[in-house]
Homo-oligomer: A and B are copies of this chain.
Amino acid sequence: MTKRTIDSHLSLAILGLLSGRPMSGYDLRKVFMTTALKAFSASPGAIYPALKRLEKAGLVEGAVERKNTLRPRQVFALTRRGRGALIDSLSGPVSREDVIRRMDWLLLRFSFMSGLIGAGPILDFLRTLAEETAGYLEVLEEEFRRSAPGLPFSGRAALEQGVESYRATARWAKKTYGELKRHRQL
């Protein structure tokens, strides 16, 4: 995978949002500024170039609204290829590496899954996420037992925070897996 079609977190977030409804660059900025996606930068220097890249890659298509007025507005929509690329990137596996270094990417993927991929793959995702998270948690806990006695206060406490954070994620993944499974059987 030397050349990814979806090149960054921001691109994934944009495609995910556009899978809901077509939006302009400014609309996207507002979403990033006002919702839980605040974690993303809403800077025009990031969003407009990203949209341009996605358009060039054929994943989104911009339609100019109010062409004749003096304040045109370009509304972007997912193309069929864009939808395909999005689904592909949501469907990929969950690796230990992802859990350690790209948890935010995993959760971003998850957040857009409903409506794009079926309950089966979503359950697979949650199961492997829970497994890999629990697996890494064991590694971290072992490291904590081994090195905590020698660590200064803040180092030890920071490690504890890391452990707590993975514990919370593992719990959440298991709980959500159960909810989805039950819900599907209704």
Contacts and interface: CB of A to CB of B under 8 A. Distances in A.
Interface in A85-142: 100-101, 107-108, 110-115, 122, 140
8 contacts: A36-B159, A39-B100, A41-B101, A110-B157, A111-B158, A112-B154, A114-B154, A161-B176
Those 8 A-B pairs whose CB atoms lie nearest each other, nearest first: A111-B158, A114-B152, A114-B154, A113-B154, A168-B168, A114-B153, A157-B176, A161-B172
A84 interface: no
A27 interface: no
Given A36-B143, A38-B100, A39-B100, A112 B155 contact: yes
Chain A, interface residues (CB within 8 Å), range: 35 or more
A101 B168 contact: no
A89 to B, nearest CB: 14
A38 B101 contact: yes
Nearest to A39: B101
Contact of A154 (B122, B147, B157): B122
